Amino acid sequence: MNHKDKDVDMIHGPLAKKIFFFALPIALSSMLQQLFNSADTAVVGRFSDANALAAVGTNGEIVALIVSLSAGLAVGVNVLVARCIGGGKREAIGDALHTAIVLALIFGALLCGTGQLVARPLLSAIHASAAIIDKAVVYLRLYFLSVPFLVLYDFCSAVLRAKGDSRRPFIALVFSGTMNVILNLVFVIVLKWMSPVSQWQQFFPLHSHRFW
């Protein structure tokens, strides 16, 4: 199938049906992104102890904030590329695309690095229990390592949606969500990676001044 078959032409013809089929994958994608943390919670709740479950669940609001921030940053890319396409400025589309990729990498790296520093203060700010905060910090710092990929996905999705293609970003998200669940099960059940927090301290020093 030609990739243009996935594009919705928002410039010509009636819009009601086009808007519905264009918006549906976007709405499903938003819900699916929020379910990633829920999948982690479900696996931990089934195969680990109550403290580990509480540690993952405590990060739910912070994870939702990160996802919303990444999606919000990508809105500007969507608007810029859509204006270039709608205005017929095809020579500017390439520049916008390259700029979007560079900004995604910069923002992703900044959020990833900052997240390692502010994980504990964020959890303290929402009054995470002392019994689970160390595990929660480890989970959040691991999650922040994935943020560059999250931002890159959102920016690339914004470019595709600007040209009327909301299906391929959704398909990519379904694939990554499926892999998230499968790898959760593999790491926890097969590889037994539900390790005590102490085994992760060599990678994420929990009480080091470098990490507040």
Within a domain: residue 6? no
Which bin fits 13, alpha (ψ -120 to 50), beta or left (φ > 0)? left
Spell out the residues 6+ positions from residue 123 whose beta carbon is closer than 8 angstroms to its own: 58, 59, 62, 133, 136, 137, 140
pLDDT at 211: 41
> Using the 8-state DSSP alphabet, how is residue 183 labeled?
H
Within a domain: residue 206? yes
How many structural domains is the chain composed of?
A: 1
pLDDT, average across residues 128-141: 89
Instruction: Kindly indicate the confidence band of residue 19, based on its pLDDT and cuts at 50, 70 and 90.
Output: confident
Within a domain: residue 118? yes
Within a domain: residue 32? yes
pLDDT at 147 over 90: yes
Within a domain: residue 2? no
Within a domain: residue 4? no
CA–CA distance, 175 with 71 (Å, rounded to integer):
19
| Residue among 155, 132, 175 nearest 78 (CA) | 155
Burial of 124 (0-12, 13-18, 19+ CB in 10 A): middle
pLDDT at 1: 42
pLDDT at 2 over 50: no
Q: How does the average pLDDT of the chain come out, rounded? A: 80
Within a domain: residue 7? no
| Residue among 152, 31, 51, 36 nearest 101 (CA) | 152
Within a domain: residue 8? no
Q: What kind and span of H or E run contains 161? A: helix 147-162
Phi, psi of 9 (to 5 degrees): -80, 105
pLDDT, average across residues 198-202: 48
pLDDT at 68 over 50: yes
For residue 72, the enclosing domain spans: 14-211
